[in-house]
């Protein structure tokens, strides 16, 4: 079982819709979770971090965390074509040296 799993997509949504990206993780002790956006050929850019159960909102982005279900999601409201990118979920693995484990990413395509 992979430590951090994401649907590879592509997830296709129309402009203005809500895009929902999901991620599950295997380390029950993990406490820190991150979403990165990566445009093709570019470096990952941190867009959201979440540490507590519930929702965290930042502009059009909302991160949701459910530690009991080992599930973290990212909602993008009013999706724009410029949101088309690959979204990487990352989980800080507990114990020893803290290491960030990345999912393989979900490709999002927002069409006009």
Partner 1 sequence: DADVTQTPRNRITKTGKRIMLECSQTKGHDRMYWYRQDPGLGLRLIYYSFDVKDINKGEISDGYSVSRQAQAKFSLSLESAIPNQTALYFCATSVLRDKGYNEQFFGPGTRLTVL
User: Where do contacts with partner 1 occur on this chain (CB under 8 A)?
Assistant: 8, 31-32, 34, 41-46, 49, 51, 88, 90, 92, 94, 97-100, 102-105
- The answer to whether the bond into 35 is cis (omega within 30° of 0) is no
Minimum Å distance from CB 4 to partner 1? 8
Q: Whose Cβ is closer to partner 1: residue 72's or residue 92's? A: 92
Residue matched to tokens 């006009």: 112
Q: Whose Cβ is closer to partner 1: residue 18's or residue 53's? A: 53
Q: Whose Cβ is closer to partner 1: residue 76's or residue 92's? A: 92
The C-alpha atoms of residue 7 and residue 106 are separated, in whole angstroms, by 6
Minimum Å distance from CB 78 to partner 1? 26
Minimum Å distance from CB 31 to partner 1? 6
Torsion angles phi and psi, residue 54, rounded to 5:
115, -155
Name, in order, each residue with C-beta under 8 angstroms of 40's C-beta and a sequence gap of 6 or more.
Answer: 85, 86
């Amino acid at each position: 079982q992979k430590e951090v799993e994401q649907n590879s997509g592509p997830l296709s949504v129309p402009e203005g819709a809500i895009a929902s990206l999901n991620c599950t993780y295997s380390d029950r002790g993990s406490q820190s979770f991150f979403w990165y956006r990566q445009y093709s050929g570019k470096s990952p850019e941190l867009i959201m971090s979440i540490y507590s159960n519930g929702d965290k909102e930042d502009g059009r982005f909302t991160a949701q965390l459910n530690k009991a279900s080992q599930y973290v999601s990212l909602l993008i409201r009013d999706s724009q074509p410029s949101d088309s990118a690959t979204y990487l979920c990352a989980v800080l693995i507990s114990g020893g040296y803290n290491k960030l484990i990345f999912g393989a990413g979900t490709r999002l395509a927002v069409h006009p």
